[in-house]
Structure 1
């Protein structure tokens, strides 16, 4: 799914109006119907709605939603700054339509403190939408602060008020803290970064029928990984295939006390479908790896840490899980990077070793996949003030080094050398545990060995990792799920993919 800027979305509206043809108020009616339908279907425990509407088109959406919810049997109250104030043309039309309904009261914002909120009243935010270009101030700022103090469920229409669709303001900005955001037609970039996405709650994208032609012809470097993209990337196995068709994986990792990381990466590589899997690890991990991962073959790379990287010919390598940063390990890795011609996935201690000297970064071969978390990224490339700046720096470095960067976060970003960014929306906070990154390394290395391109590997691998984590959280909870539970759910995800592919 393409992610467009606020300006591109406004152009999409206008393009739809010119192509169908449909009027702007009819398009507003269409969007409002979708939102009102979702609210009515999901508001099972209340009949009372309080809608806060601005003077622009987002407020017009809210006014139309109020009318539709009333017609569906809800008790509806509407708040505006001034019922006699200046509204956009479409918002004013919807305000006039409300005045013809005796059962809906239109109040001023200033009356909100005296309003009788009960515990189940749902607050609907239709104050500002995507047009905001500066932080909230004045009466809107005060209103949003008061609404944030309420314990009621809050639903934002299109964008939480106070939030830009495309960027972040400073950290002190007032933003409505929504429990749900009903976004029209596509995701917004601000939903996908931790500093701003924390305000959206659960994002629900509503299809309001904007023309597909605009989406096809309009360029953007930003994408959300959705089911359609995954179905286009995933390659089912041929019945007439054999293990040689699915590559040879080498997981290089483990050190005394950190053999578990190599186990997790090896197991996930196996479960992700590699034809042959080898683990290059120190001798101290031999019995553990042969017992826990009997399907994989063991290659001794040292006694208590890896210092021999030689027996890796013909493999796709995943390097880093539990590797340690011992001097001899460092020397072996640097030599491998200088001599290597094999596909690489670099993670964890492999990245920490490289970051010790800036000149090492130039040793990373082109087309390598690197998977830093924010702190590892900072060690490699320098600090940034926020995730937006970090992403811009990642785009520069991916282009400069010709590498693929999997920048791990709540919504992990995949940055390609061509400057494209793919946001992943599977996964959950249950992955905030040691070992989760080791699993991802195994999955990525496995897919790369199976013949997926680097871009396809990143897209499918990160999505698989998150989807399996979602299944694991349903069974065990985010608190109790373990990285091994995520590995165990990979099979269920592949079953789902294969079923979709053949329907």
Structure 2
């Protein structure tokens, strides 16, 4: 699913009306009706809905939603901001709202702001949509401040008012609606999935409104939103006559005294994702723990409490870094490993931290290797960023320069490729922010590499399966009790769900 710019979305709307032989007013009715249906499914008519409408087509959406809600006996009041001019579709929908005797209050100054203290009030934000490209000022900004201060439940239509669709570097963040839910139309918006905008976007819901699929596909975009449909013709199926040698041999180089669990999690995840063989190269202090925890994993010891001698390559698919430690002898061996192989590596955790301090080794990292940092680790590589858009652009430049894949972990983890594409992951939940979750991901991606997936496919598929397994756990156990081992135990269910779609 593509992520498009505001201009591209406008073009898709236009093509849709032409291809489907409908007016923009009819498309608005269709989109707003889909939003209203979402509201019906999630709220009863005991609430009081305050619909705040701006002068453009987003305000028109709000008027249609208000009319549909009223037709189902919901308590609705519309608030319209004063303006010199209104869009044609707004004008026509306002006339329809008046025909059904809808309650309307005009907002000309702060004295017109409504009392929002009633607990029953739900706010529908339809002030400004995806076409906004400059900071909100004046009475509209004051109204946004007022709504945010009330701390009510807010449903934004398409995008929180005041938030730009993509780059918000020049925006005034004190004049953006703080939504509880954003009903974004047809496609996700880039700004809704960037961490810096989490206080504005709330929970994102993609509302299908029937935009022309061909028009969407013709739009060029480097941003992709990954859902299960992406993997429809993607997954490798096993031949009845296959054997373990067909699915590769993974080497997990990980662990140090007190952190052998990281090596265990990564190794087990590689097995669960389908690697034919897995060997863990760990300090000898973890030998008994590894052998007793996962008898299916072979073990090679290296050093007593941390990795300190030459790492065995032996044609393995290598994942390196979980729980490794950064002492000097380990650093030496990790740097030596980078120069001894031309095969892609999966590099995580302390291996990332070691390499962050040795920029002169970056061009020695085998091309198509996969780096899996969380944001703090990644800042050690590219420096601090002023905003998330800058982070993505700098990472894109890095990935192209060194021909590497970078997976920035977090909500909506993103895979950034050497070709310049960015794949945002839709699976996963906050319960996965737990110790060892990243170690599991390292094992998953390495295990997929061993089965013949390219670095890009292994990254995108690995992240999605990792998140999907976490979602399965969340439904069974809840977010708060989810642990990394639970993710591993549900990899199989996640895989089957994708296979059977």
Answer whether TM exceeds 0.5 for this pair: yes
The residue number in structure 1 matching 2:307 is 306
CA deviations on 1:336-370 (whole Å, 9 max, x unpaired) are 21121233100111111111221011111101011
- 8 Å contact 2:130–2:165 — kept in the other structure? yes
**Deviation of residue 60 (structure 1)?**
0.6
Q: Secondary structure at the match of 1:49?
A: strand
| Map of 2:407 onto structure 1 | 406
Alpha carbons of structure 1 residues 257 and 120: separation in structure 2 relative to 1, 3 Å: same
Select the residue among 100, 103, 106 that pairs with 2:104: 106
Aligned to 2:144: 144
The aligned counterpart of 2:233 is 232
Structure 1 residues 179-328: aligned runs within 5 Å = 179-328=180-329
Distance 1:152-1:384 versus aligned 2 partners, 3 A rule: closer
Question: Aligned residue for 1:462?
Answer: 463
Q: Is the 8 Å Cα contact of residues 472 and 481 (structure 1) preserved in structure 2?
A: yes
Post-superposition offset of 1:383: 2.1
Structure 1 residues 362-381: Cα deviation after superposition (integer angstroms, max 9, x where no partner)? 11110101111112212122
Q: Is the 8 A contact 1:160 1:175 kept in 2?
A: yes
For 2:157, the equivalent position in structure 1 comes to 157
1:17 shift after superposition = 1.9
Task: Answer yes or no: is 1:27 the counterpart of 2:61.
Answer: no
TM-score, length-scaled by structure 2:
0.96
Question: Aligned-residue CA RMSD in angstroms?
Answer: 1.7
Cα distance, 1:431 vs structure 2: 2.1
Between the aligned partners of 1:39 and 1:117, the Cα distance in structure 2 is 21
Shift of 1:174: 2.2
Q: Are the aligned partners of 2:136 and 2:172 in contact in 1 as well (CA < 8 Å)?
A: no
Could you say what secondary structure the match of 1:176 adopts? coil
Deviation at 1:98, TM superposition (A): 1.0
Could you say what secondary structure the match of 1:216 adopts? helix
Query: Could you tell me how far 1:133 is from its partner in structure 2?
Result: 1.2
Q: Is the 8 A contact 2:344 2:455 kept in 1?
A: no
Aligned to 1:338: 339
Shift of 1:257: 1.4
Partner of 1:370: 371
Structure 1, unaligned runs of 5 or more: none
For residues 356 and 335 of structure 1, the distance between their equivalents in structure 2, rounded to whole angstroms, comes to 14
Distance 1:260 1:72 in 2: 56
For 2:22 and 2:212, the matched residues in 1 are separated by 11
Q: Give the Cα separation in 1 of the matches to 2:179 and 2:9.
A: 22
Deviates more, 1:375-384 or 1:105-114: 105-114
Deviation digits for residues 49-94 of structure 1 (CA, Å, limit 9, x no counterpart)? 1110000000011111111111122121100013x85210010000
In 1, distance between residues paired with 2:496 and 2:229? 16
Give distance in 2, aligned partners of 1:171 and 1:458. 35
How far apart, CA to CA, are the structure 1 residues paired with 2:117 and 2:240? Answer: 62
- Contact conserved, 1:5 with 1:166, CA < 8 A, in 2? yes
Partner residue of 2:392? 391
Tell me, what secondary structure is at the counterpart of 1:108?
A: strand
Aligned-partner Cα distance in 1 for 2:410–2:139: 35
2:39 paired with 1:60: no
Q: Is the CA contact (8 Å cut-off) linking 2:144 and 2:175 kept in structure 1?
A: yes
Q: CA deviation at 1:210?
A: 1.1
Q: How far apart, CA to CA, are the structure 1 residues paired with 2:117 and 2:231? A: 44
Alpha-carbon separation, structure 2, partners of 1:116 and 1:357: 56
Give the corresponding residue for 2:95. Answer: 96
CA distance, structure 2, for counterparts of residue 306 and residue 371 of structure 1: 20
Shift in Å, 1:112: 5.4
Determine helix, strand or coil for the equivalent of 1:469.
Answer: helix
SS in 1 for 2:184: strand
TM-score, scaled relative to structure 1: 0.95
**Contact (CA 8 Å) 1:444, 1:458: kept in 2 or not?**
yes
Secondary structure of 2:435's counterpart equals coil
What per-residue deviation string (whole Å, max 9, x for no partner) do you get for residues 172-194 of structure 1?
43211111111111000001101
Indicate if the aligned counterparts of 1:269 and 1:442 stay in contact, CA closer than 8 A. yes
- Contact 2:113 2:143 (8 Å CA) reproduced: no
TM-fit CA distance, 1:456: 0.8
